Structure 1
């Protein structure tokens, strides 16, 4: 796909479906994390999983955001949700309760089919996790504790006991871990200590595995792989900056200062949701928003500048917390503090989706109010560094 065609598609991205995860409650249930099965694997039967602030996971069809099922089992805040890559019927969730649970979406999902805990049971608070591209490795990051420090733990997904862990590379809460989409041995980790670490987990010791340390100079919000053949690393921070580095030489490719300074008026921005990369365009794209729920698509047009592409309106009314992007289908799903899931796709698909909506109309959400305002510290413990609509947070590896 050419860059010109990609830009045209993004310019016509529009809201096609929305679904509320909370309708009757006096306070809204935040959507904290979402993930989607890929169209390349599941086609039109792809599912979306969304985690709520009340420790539940809900499953929806991605084509219409029709509700399918819910999962309960975690006793504390869920910090991540991921479909397996090779066996997408398996869904993994991590939590501050010190467990990662695997659910088989082909079953009634009353019980997890696997439960992974740390070396000393469920004493670790898992703040993030990811699964390797071949579904063989599971990795989690933990919150920092006064007596134990912070850890990056690994499992073979076929066994409940950990393979081992890293303990020297970060010294504060790990906010993100991210495997390379095609190389099972390459891993990124990001932390509130401002560091992004690049690992080759095939090495026997943590010192040998650590390939490079990148400094964002602020608490890390999101990390990922980008560029041609995913040869670069991106990072966004809680002070709304964007960084891109080469993954091998570790040279800076892009450094964007606070995006809130660059866009005002109708294009006003209060926060970055996340980044993604469309097929046919190797430049990083950024989804950002404001506290009224308006979203804007931006593109890294130069090493220190983001250009405005288009706006996505009509979906959310409060802060948007999460994004999942399917590059092949050119479909985005967003979730926010207003309890809404929203589906966005290029306009040429609108007619078919509208027919589905008329046959199966979604109930309009009732009016709901925000959670009580939290302090920055309380909010970070609640949702691992994400913003409320009122605030923005200015052992070696043996396997």
Structure 2
């Protein structure tokens, strides 16, 4: 086993996080794209640049199995939720191969496949609709809709965006509303009731002004919207009024000025703890350190000193962060686990949030993985 140094915290107000362990998921230039949890937190799915999805235990890091079948980059993964499926063990994935596939994570076998066509790419998907029967997907300048119960395509919106649709999300607590975001810099809100079309169902358009990478809803009524762009700017919006509340064009510099570590090179995600109006943006360095920076989006907007720092686990850009602090059940409390991270070094790192005396150790197990036949490096900011 390879020893890893315990994390040194620079800021006195920052929470001390220890590295519990890390798992080498693959070899060569392949790396982790996304980490998502099963609803009961008995598994977490990890998408890799090997075009496969691996499953691990969030509590122990034990490898559980692998889902393979996509022929191109996996762009998003998500477990089924009660509103879209009665099968919580089903995992969905979309890919640049033009398909959305469903996997039974008990057998790791594919159970269904919806195809948008061999010349299409799917970058994002979301389940929702007034009757919870819709599957929406973001593709090449199009938004596609299927009835997920029978796999029949019911609509295609192709006039609202001019470039790749990187994000689609049904709005929490407003399941008939769909938000789309694109490389063209636009976010659109659609009403998905009835026969969906561009003319009658486009309710509002928000112009961010630059290519959009990730978006998410937050706030007690989910009326607020955060938006991270491919040039690492951050903006906050009231989506119901299409009103901008903060526009942090120099977000990286603001975050960098609030700690003593290296310059913040990129943002991984935003974190909303599902209560109140608080929001954190997660920034990272090319060397693999991460900070949880509180966002003050009132007035001119500001980014405060990090309330948590994760360092000493990754050696490259971090692609995904899975916090377990707001999970159901007792894993976070009993194990003192803060969360998991995955990055371009191919590692999954588990972080402790308490002052546990457990040994901070980094370990690599080649018995849990297989070497891919071909490695392919992808640029981080390429949404596809």
When the two structures are superposed, what TM-score results if normalisation uses the length of structure 1?
0.79
C-alpha change, 1:219 and 1:365, in structure 2 (3 Å) is farther
Segments of 5+ residues of structure 2 without an aligned counterpart are 1-11, 333-337
Deviation track 1:207-235 (CA, whole Å, cap 9, x = no partner) reads 33222211221110101111122111111
Q: CA distance change for structure 1 residues 11 and 185 in 2, over 3 Å: closer, same or farther?
A: farther
Q: Distance in 1 between matches of 2:17 and 2:230?
A: 27
State the partner residue of 1:85.
81
Would the aligned equivalents of 1:84 and 1:135 in 2 still touch at CA under 8 Å?
no
| The 10-residue stretch of structure 1 (206-215 or 71-80) with the greater mean CA deviation from structure 2 | 206-215
> Which of 230, 236, 240 is 1:248 aligned to?
240
Mapping of 1:306-385 within 5 angstroms? Answer: 306-308=303-305, 309-326=307-324, 328-329=326-327, 331-347=338-354, 350=356, 354=358, 362-363=363-364, 379=379, 384-385=382-383
* Distance in 2 separating the partners of 1:222 and 1:96: 17
Deviates more, 1:182-191 or 1:59-68: 182-191
Q: Is the 8 A contact 1:287 1:298 kept in 2?
A: yes
Contact 2:47 2:53 (C-alpha < 8 Å) held by counterparts: yes
The unaligned stretches of length 5 or more in structure 1 are 1-7, 144-149, 387-399
3-state SS of 1:75 partner: coil
Tell me how far 1:164 sits from its aligned partner. Answer: 1.2
Which of 229, 254, 266 is the equivalent residue of 1:237?
229
Conservation of the 8 A alpha-carbon contact between 1:285 and 1:299: yes
User: Which has a greater percent of helix?
Assistant: 1
Taking structure 2 as the reference length, what is the TM-score of the superposition?
Answer: 0.82
- For 1:100, the equivalent position in structure 2 comes to 100
1:226 to 215, 218, 225: 218
Of 65, 71, 79, 1:69 maps to 65
Equivalent residue for 2:7? Answer: none
Deviation at 1:203, TM superposition (A): 4.6
Q: Which string of whole-angstrom CA distances, capped at 9 and with x for unpartnered residues, describes residues 290-326 of structure 1? A: 1000001111124321112231112211001122344
Q: Does 1:18 align with 2:14?
A: no
- Residue 52 of structure 2 is matched in structure 1 by 56
> Following TM superposition, by how much is the alpha carbon of 1:12 offset from its aligned partner in structure 2, in angstroms?
4.6
Among 261, 278, 287, the residue aligned to 2:282: 287
Note the C-alpha offset of 1:196: 1.3
Is 1:186 the equivalent of 2:177? yes
The answer (yes or no) to whether the contact 2:30–2:376 under 8 Å persists in 1 is: no
